Amino acid sequence: MKVALTGASGLLGSAFVDALIAGGHAVHAIDRKSIAGQSPHTIAERLDGVDWLLHAAANTNVELCEVEVDACYRDNLILSEQVADAARLAGVPLVYMSSTGVYGCGAITPFAEYDDANPTTHHHRAKLLGEAAVLARSGANLVIRTGWLFGGEPENPKNFVARRIEEARRVRAEGGVMKSNQQQVGCPTFTRDVVSRVLALVDSGHTGIFNCVNTGSASRFEYVSEIVRLSGESVVVKPADAGIFNRRAKVSDNEAAVNWRMTQLGFEPMPRWEHSLATYIASLRGITHPEGGGV
């Protein structure tokens, strides 16, 4: 199988690259230089012989998207339209990575695919419009709404788990406490679990919108507490109200979701987030650190 992908250097894209190569598949990365200023026809020429295309490239800086609004819609909506047009011209099915953040406000229980989407930030509005653009271009396309992703190289500045472990180490050295948002709830989700489930969905020919998150949900506070506990750092994590973090992007307090559609179709539940987080943090312990303690 030959798979093309955008966003191959990102947190999720790199997990797809690793899994596809390990599975003996050919991978064709389409980087930002190959897309910028190119027509869909030109991009389509690069899809010759490709079985499917993963669109994982996105402007994922939710805070900056509130300030640089044009860049937000250009990198999330226009880019997705361009890629979806190219996929349609080449006759290649597209898998579009989206977010459970598109559900926005409107419910206090985890969202299922039949719930309305009411995004509360420019980033999530752009992702939702990107979904619509992708689905309008071909009935063969798949949209994946995933959760708070963890995984990948600890050096990646966007690695939430590695950054929290660093923070815990720093705070311990300073004798302080960590604070984490107790209001916002979501589904911590391992990139490797998403990759294997997306490959299964593609393999079985499913199309349309799917939530794809690890089982269970947590507040940021519960998530960070579990990261700290599993990393073995003896630091107190205290629950805090959202207000103290002074965020520009008013992300909904509820980004939690369930894989309702997959459940109806008879797919096995995805692993619980605590289980996958433990697996991931155990894998980080094998990585040499200047202090000799893992990440």
Ligand X SMILES: NC(=O)c1ccc[n+]([C@@H]2O[C@H](COP(=O)([O-])OP(=O)(O)OC[C@H]3O[C@@H](n4cnc5c(N)ncnc54)[C@H](OP(=O)(O)O)[C@@H]3O)[C@@H](O)[C@H]2O)c1
Residue 20 interacting with ligand X (CB under 6 A): no
Amino acid at 190: F
Strands 2-6 and 26-30: parallel
Query: What letters, b where the CB count within 10 A reaches 16 and e where it falls short, cover 104-116?
Result: beeeeebbbbebe
Q: State the Cα–Cα distance between residues 54 and 142, nearest whole angstrom.
A: 9
Residue 224 interacting with ligand X (CB under 6 A): no
Residue nearest to ligand X (CB): 10
Residue 240's DSSP bridge partners are: 181
Out of 52, 60, 93, 159, the residue judged to bind ligand X by CB under 6 A: 60
* Nearest CB to ligand X, comparing residues 171 and 256: 256
Strands 188-190 and 208-212: unpaired
From the list 20-28, 104-112, 144-152, 203-211, the region that binds ligand X by CB under 6 A is 144-152
- Count residues binding ligand X (CB under 6 A): 23
* Nearest CB to ligand X, comparing residues 82 and 171: 82
* Nearest CB to ligand X, comparing residues 149 and 270: 149
Residues 6 or more apart whose Cβ sits within 8 Å of residue 45: none
Residue 84 interacting with ligand X (CB under 6 A): no
Q: State the Cα–Cα distance between residues 134 and 54, nearest whole angstrom.
A: 12
Residue 143 interacting with ligand X (CB under 6 A): no
Residues 6 or more apart whose Cβ sits within 8 Å of residue 246: none
Least gap, CB of 184 to ligand X (angstroms): 13
Least gap, CB of 93 to ligand X (angstroms): 17
CB-CB contact of 6 with 13 (8 Å): yes
Residue 142 interacting with ligand X (CB under 6 A): no
Site residues for ligand X per CB under 6 A: 6-7, 9-13, 32, 35, 56-60, 75, 79, 97, 99, 127, 146, 148-149, 158
